[in-house]
Structure 1
């Protein structure tokens, strides 16, 4: 079955992180039950925060690799996510692309 990479940056307005936090548990609960998600998680900023243990790690979006029969199925899955419907992910900047890897997921 085809794989798709999902790059879903959050909106950047002042209320964006609050919208994410309000629906975060619902997003995590649904993701934990979804066998189509092969890997996923939050993107952090700034990148330097990863090298500095005490630096604030701010969630700025999500990245996933999902397995779906078609692009349309992948798109429907993303557009039904509470981060999409709750205006966390920036709908204009979210990217869904076919993904291949030589390693099994």
Structure 2
């Protein structure tokens, strides 16, 4: 099942610097997830000055419990970059299904 993960960085001093120092581990984790098919797409949330202050990820997990398990090991969580993480079931609308063929509805045989 697809989920949108919306993560917001802490506003504590030093968070951006911590983000940048941990970013290689975060990106490496994302690459592994892309390989196993659990991470489809993502990107940074920017503030008015163009500085990263969070992220949005579209992930594919069977259960919410699997997402929680992944988040326990996410470098931005472990290193206190992300302060708040919202997780919501996500539906790909028909006009974007060509980008995600795995999620196209299959007709039911009579």
| Structure with the larger helix share | 2
Higher RCO structure (Cα 8 Å, ≥6 apart):
1
Using structure 2 for the length normalisation, give the TM-score. 0.79
Structure with bigger gyration radius: 2
Q: What stretches of structure 1 move > 4 A for 4+ residues in a row? A: none
Shift of 1:14: 1.3
Distance 2:87 2:73 in 1: 14
| Partner SS state of residue 41, structure 1 | strand
Give the RMSD, CA atoms, in angstroms.
Answer: 1.1
Using structure 1 for the length normalisation, give the TM-score. 0.82
Q: Tell me if structure 2 keeps the 8 A contact 1:79–1:85.
A: yes
Alignment partner for residue 101 of structure 1, among 92, 98, 102? 92
| Partner SS state of residue 94, structure 1 | strand
Stretches of structure 1 lacking an aligned partner (at least 5 in a row)? 47-55
Shift of 1:94: 1.1
Stretches of structure 2 lacking an aligned partner (at least 5 in a row)? 101-110
Tell me if 1:11 matches 2:10: yes
